Structure 1
Amino acid sequence: MPATSEELARPVIIGRSSSHFTRVTRIFAAEMRVDYSLRVVRDLMSPTAEDYGGNPALKIPSLQTPQGVWFGSLNVCRELWRRSSPRPRVVWPEDLDQPLLANAQELVLQAMSTEVSLIMGKAAGTSDSSTHHTKMRQALVNMMSWLEENARPILAALPPRDLSYLEVTLFCLVTHLEFRDVLPTAPYSALNEFRQQFATRASASETPFRFDT
């Protein structure tokens, strides 16, 4: 459903409060001090692109603006940054020019996507014993172990910033794993230390995970 003219007076994030990719954009909006409204996608099994803001990939989030629609969390975050004034110093994925940092961003995003696949597979009734499910879960465990082992060096190597896309996505990933009961995070002490520190930001406390009613 297209946004009304009243809604388009401010950006509309199309997503879900229980989605980690959506929360990434909501944290950015809070950090950028950009006012927005949230339009909830009620049915993630919908095959209709219009339900996702016109995204042909049938994925969330999207950002609807008078200029057009932005698909995907990174595109949305960039547009929110462009709308902010003054613009904070943000470290974007292309700024990560060391293997450690670039690989960290890649694995965080891969872990987020893998988690979504596991959740959607469970909702669709896919067997936990299937070969594909077993491989995805092992991949998720492997990625989380790598991120735990390298968490402190990663954070220490980030350039000076007010915010980084890597930190926001990492926070949303670690927090979401517990929220959706996909993988226990208690064994990941370094990642939990980071999560607790990032959670003190107003943008994090303003955007808790919850199931939309």
Structure 2
Amino acid sequence: MPAALEESAKPVIIGRSSSHFTRVTRIFAAELHVDYSFRVVRDLMSSNPEDYGGNPALKIPSLQTPRGVWFGSLNVCRELWRRSSPRPRVVWPEDHDEPLLANAQELVLQAMSTEVSLIMGKLGGTGDSAHHTKMRQSLINMMAWLEDNATSVLAALPQPRDLSYLEVTLFCLVSHLEFRDVLPTAPYPELNKFCQQFAARASIGETTFGFDT
């Protein structure tokens, strides 16, 4: 296949419609106007890396392209951005050179991972363990910090920007909590206000959470 044809081949996002990490990549694809195919990982209990696009960590999402496979939401979003034209102004995690923004991004990603562990632990029958209790408290602590600092964090994001990885991941985290019945979000008015405003983007309506059949 000629190199130009290879580069134009449609990428494939490998994940699930119920996954907040997958939704991050689909929002980026929509915002960047990058066309893609979507392959659903049917069995999250599978121990076969090929089911996850070859990811040895057995995690989603991945992005399959003619250049190779990209593992993880941040890698996928970067590659989608490289494929976009024109390339919009995106604020990436490495642009956060002050503690407030850097810590916010870290806690959002930690909270997303902790939420996955809680969901998988519940499915695996370990929902009453001491470790599960600690993880849930950790998630509650992180959400409280994000709520307390939401206004300052959002105000500190660099301008001008078209999109930021922090905003997309924060939206996916908060909206996923109630979707998967992990934590009620009523105690987080500032985060809910942000989500209501961010949800006005067309990309949000195009990437709603759901359970693949």
Mapping 1:78-93, distance limit 5 Å: 78-93=78-93
The aligned counterpart of 1:17 is: 17
Aligned length: 206
1:26 is paired with a residue of what secondary structure? helix
TM, length-normalised to structure 1: 0.95
Structure 2 letter corresponding to 1:45? M
Moved over 4 A (4+): none
Deviation readout 1:21-56 (Å, 9 max, x if unpaired) = 000000000000000011000000000000000000
CA contact (8 A) 2:14 2:40 kept: yes
Verify: 1:146 aligned to 2:142, yes or no: no
Deviation readout 1:74-126 (Å, 9 max, x if unpaired) = 00000000000000000000000110000000000000000000000001111
Structure 1 letter corresponding to 2:44? L
Q: Give distance in 2, aligned partners of 1:67 and 1:162.
A: 27
The aligned counterpart of 2:156 is: 157
Identify unmatched segments of 5+ residues in structure 2: 1-7
Alpha-carbon distance, 1:127 to partner: 3.3
Q: Percent identity?
A: 84
Q: Give distance in 1, aligned partners of 2:64 and 2:172.
A: 22
2:152 is paired with a residue of what secondary structure? helix
Q: Give distance in 1, aligned partners of 2:151 and 2:207.
A: 25
TM, length-normalised to structure 2: 0.95
Structure 2 letter corresponding to 1:47? S
Structure 1 letter corresponding to 2:135? M
The aligned counterpart of 1:205 is: 205
Structure 2 letter corresponding to 1:82? R
Identify unmatched segments of 5+ residues in structure 1: 1-7
2:209 is paired with a residue of what secondary structure? coil
RMSD: 1.1
